[in-house]
Amino acid sequence: MNKLRDNTEPLRLALDRHSSAVRMDPALPLLPLPSAEIRSWFGEIDIYLFDQIIKGRFDHRRRVLDAGCGDGRNLIYFLRRGFTCFGVDENAAAIEHVRGVAATLAPALSPLNFHVGDLEHLPWDDHTVDAVICSAVLHFAVDDAHFGRMLQGMWRVLAPGGLFFARLASSIGLESRIQRVRGRVDLPDGSERFVVDEPMLLQWAERLGAQMLDPIKTTNVQYQRCMTTWCLLKSAPA
């Protein structure tokens, strides 16, 4: 242990000297904090959506719909990079905010790309977009039928070869702590959500004729709630 500490001491001292030089030399540019720099490019992006960008899932998918976009936190990067962005949300104030953000970051986009409405009655034609983002929205379904209508509404506007990315509440990992594994339940965190289980997601993927792009991944937040990431590829017609 002492030998390891001795071997790393010169490196530590060199780093300390470099840091001091950066702080003391007014000629050196002040670099932004890493968190500020990342936030300026990506906003408060869903980290699992960030993962999809890194995997190249948006390299050739330039038309992006954020279904349930809220204030547009997941659209910042796409707006900055010239993607053709669309958004829908039931909250009119949120849509006004997104339009303002888009006017600043992507002034060529029409404000009509951002629409007040629900996921069941999207105003766009079939196959309009190459990717649909639906983060923390599907778990507001009131029942199975409502869940299905929202999902099929988004699927309709997605082009063949398109990416469907969803994050939603699930019962995976909470089975012994909630009343049922599907439908609306009271979660341990005090919220009420529509939850899904793995068989339900697999059944819907098969029903849609979709390919699973990633295994179903679930984050368990200290047994208070579980959020599942669901990524599908819309196959081309046979």
pLDDT per residue as tens digits for the range 90-113: 999 999 999 999 999 999 999 999
- What CA–CA distance (Å, rounded) separates 196 from 56? 28
CATH code linked to domain 33-234: 3.40.50.150
Q: How much is the pTM?
A: 0.85
What is residue 5's predicted lDDT score, i.e. its pLDDT?
A: 42
Domain ranges of the chain: 33-234
What is residue 238's predicted lDDT score, i.e. its pLDDT?
A: 56
What is residue 24's predicted lDDT score, i.e. its pLDDT?
A: 52
Amino acid letter, 237: P
Cβ atoms 58, 52 nearer than 8 A: yes
At residue 33, the 3 state secondary structure works out as: coil
Q: How many CB atoms lie within 10 A of CB 63?
A: 21
21-30, 119-128, 139-148, range with the lowest pLDDT = 21-30
pLDDT per residue as tens digits for the range 215-227: 999 999 999 999 9
Q: Which residues contact 164 (CB under 8 A, 6 or more apart)?
A: 131, 132, 134, 154, 155, 158, 210, 230, 231, 232, 233, 234
pLDDT per residue as tens digits for the range 190-224: 999 999 999 999 999 999 999 999 999 999 999 99
What is residue 18's predicted lDDT score, i.e. its pLDDT?
A: 46
Q: Please state whether beta strands 158-169 and 129-135 pair in parallel, antiparallel, or not at all (unpaired).
A: parallel
At residue 2, the 3 state secondary structure works out as: helix
Residue 39: pLDDT band with limits 50, 70, 90 = confident
Residue 28: pLDDT band with limits 50, 70, 90 = low
Mean pLDDT of the chain: 91
